[in-house]
């Protein structure tokens, strides 16, 4: 059942950005924090349902520029390391000593970046649809997915005027960061249709936007493009290189066999570098957290985390 928040708040993290956060579940339970995808995706009510509210103190929040955090869709001072610092400020604000990190897609990237920076503050990790934010993965997103979903890629590519098609990512970034809604909103919805179409094992029948509104569409498209243009503010291979800092922590990796957005090879590479981690391959799923197999295995991973020695 969907638990309702027992507490909500807004946390200023600098002179510009303020984060929305909420808690539900057992106030005296083991803390676990949900890290949403995107970047820029924001949290939704159904994200609360991955956790047993009798056991866990469940924390969800919207990262910079996403969801109910303000200012919406802002890429100013929006970097991976700013998000890591924000999560540490939220932990301190809520008076939590250590928590389990539960992140999917970009949320898995952020979970690894935070854990490697503050290993003493992490009790364990549950990761889904692993994305390590390497140039190879970003190039796959912008071009390689078209090998599996050519119709979706040609729609993304064809949205651009012919003289902008040589650099698809750069062209979208320029449009998405334009101040004029007549320029950035159509680009945001084109980006959203592309990503959404490629996110499930079976292509969706509907072709309309899958985000809630203009603000949500702009946030995920603009912030994703911003991070992609800047290689997620990470050195190539940085997250794998620093795994030695967290290999003592319990970790489960859940990944769909037919994940096209974040191909299976990335999760396998992470598991090979982290042999102590548990890798669960969902045989009948793509990338989306809403796919039944992904949801089932994520809940099961959190249940198993209850019985582990955390931290």
* pLDDT attached to residue 207: 45
pLDDT digits 0-9 by tens, 92-126: 999 999 999 999 999 999 999 999 999 999 999 99
* pLDDT attached to residue 213: 87
User: What pTM, to 2 d.p., does this model score?
Assistant: 0.95
* pLDDT attached to residue 235: 96
Mean pLDDT of 236-262: 97
Q: Which residues are part of the catalytic machinery? A: 105, 259, 287
* pLDDT attached to residue 208: 47
For residue 32, how many other CB atoms are within 10 A of its CB? 26
Mean pLDDT of the chain: 95
Distance CA 213, CA 271 (A): 37
HEC-encoded secondary structure of 263-294? CHHHHHHHHHHCCCCEEEEECCCCCCCCCHHH
Distance CA 56, CA 190 (A): 38
Mean pLDDT of 196-212: 69
Distance CA 193, CA 306 (A): 37
């Amino acid at each position: 059942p969907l638990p309702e928040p027992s507490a909500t708040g807004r946390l200023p993290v600098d002179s510009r950005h303020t984060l929305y956060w909420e808690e539900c579940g057992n106030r005296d339970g083991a803390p676990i924090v949900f890290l949403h995808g995107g970047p820029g995706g924001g949290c939704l009510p159904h994200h609360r349902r991955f956790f047993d509210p009798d056991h866990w103190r469940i924390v969800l929040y919207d990262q910079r520029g996403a969801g109910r955090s303000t200012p919406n869709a802002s890429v100013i001072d929006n970097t991976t390391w700013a998000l890591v610092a924000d999560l540490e400020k939220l932990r301190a604000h809520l008076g939590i000593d250590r928590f389990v990190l539960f992140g999917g897609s970009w949320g898995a990237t952020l979970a690894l970046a935070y854990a490697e920076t503050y290993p003493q503050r992490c009790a364990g990790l549950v990761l889904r649809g692993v994305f390590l934010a390497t140039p190879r993965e970003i190039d796959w997103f912008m071009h390689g997915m078209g090998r599996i979903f050519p119709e979706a890629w040609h729609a993304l590519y064809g949205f651009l005027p012919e003289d902008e098609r040589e650099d698809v990512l750069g062209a979208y970034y320029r449009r998405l960061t334009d101040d004029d809604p007549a320029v950035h909103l159509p680009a945001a919805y084109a980006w959203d249709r592309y990503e959404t179409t490629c996110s499930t094992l079976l292509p969706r029948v509907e072709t309309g936007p899958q985000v809630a509104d203009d603000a949500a569409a702009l946030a995920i498209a603009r912030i994703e493009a911003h991070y992609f243009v800047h290689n997620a503010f990470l050195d190539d291979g940085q997250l794998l290189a620093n795994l030695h800092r967290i290999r003592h922590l319990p970790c489960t990796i859940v990944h769909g066999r037919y994940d096209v957005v974040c191909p299976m090879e990335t999760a396998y590479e992470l598991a090979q570098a982290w042999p102590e981690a548990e890798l669960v391959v969902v045989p009948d799923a793509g990338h989306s957290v809403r796919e039944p197999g992904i949801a089932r295995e994520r809940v099961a991973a959190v249940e198993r985390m209850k019985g582990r020695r955390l931290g």
